[in-house]
A and B are shown apart, each in its own frame.
Chain A
Amino acid sequence: MSINPHPTLPEFDYIKPKTIDEACKFLTEHKGEARPLLGGTDIFVRMRDGVWKDKYLVDVKHLDGMNDIKFDPATGLIIGSAVNMNRVIAFQAVKENYQVLAEAAYSCASYQLRTRATIVGNICNASPAGDTIGACLLLGGILNVQGVNGARREPLSSFFLGPGETGLKPGDIVSSIQFPVPPRGMQGKYIKHGRNNLSDLSIVGVTVVGTPDSGVLSGYRIRLALASVAPVPLVVDQVESILSGKAINEEIIAEAASVAMAACNPIDDVRGSARYRKLMVKNLSFKAITAVWDELRK
Chain B
Amino acid sequence: MAFHKINVSVNGVMEEVVVPSNMTLMRMLRESLALTGTKNGCSAGECGACTVLINGEPVNSCMLLAVECDGAEITTVEGLAHDKQLDPIQEAIIQEGGVQCGFCTPGILISARALLDRNPDPSEDDIREALVGNLCRCTGYVRIVESVKAAARMLAVTS
Contacts and interface: CB of A to CB of B under 8 A. Distances in A.
- Decide if A and B touch, CB cutoff 8 A: yes
B155 interface: no
A44 B45 contact: yes
Contact of B60 (A7, A113, A198): A113
A116 B68 CA distance: 12
Interface residues of B, number: 30
Nearest to B2: A13
Contact of A12 (B1, B57, B115): B1
A14 interface: yes
B5 interface: no
B133 A113 contact: yes
B92 to A, nearest CB: 19
Interface centre among B48, B54, B59, B134 (most CB of A within 10 A): B59
Interface residues of A, number: 27
Nearest to A14: B21
Contact of A110 (B4, B48, B64, B68): B48
A113 B63 contact: yes
Contacts of A12: 1, 21-22
A110 B2 contact: no
A168 to B, nearest CB: 22
A44 B132 contact: no
Contacts of B51: 112
Interface centre among A11, A16, A44, A110 (most CB of B within 10 A): A110
Interface in B44-89: 44-45, 48, 51, 54, 57-60, 63-65, 67-68
A1 B91 CA distance: 47
Contacts of B115: 111
Interface string B1-43: 1101000000000000000111010000000000000000001
A181 interface: no
A110 B51 CA distance: 11
Interface of A: 7-14, 16, 40-41, 44-45, 48, 57, 59, 61, 86, 109-113, 115-116, 198-199
Interface of B: 1-2, 4, 20-22, 24, 43-45, 48, 51, 54, 57-60, 63-65, 67-68, 111, 114-115, 129-130, 132-134
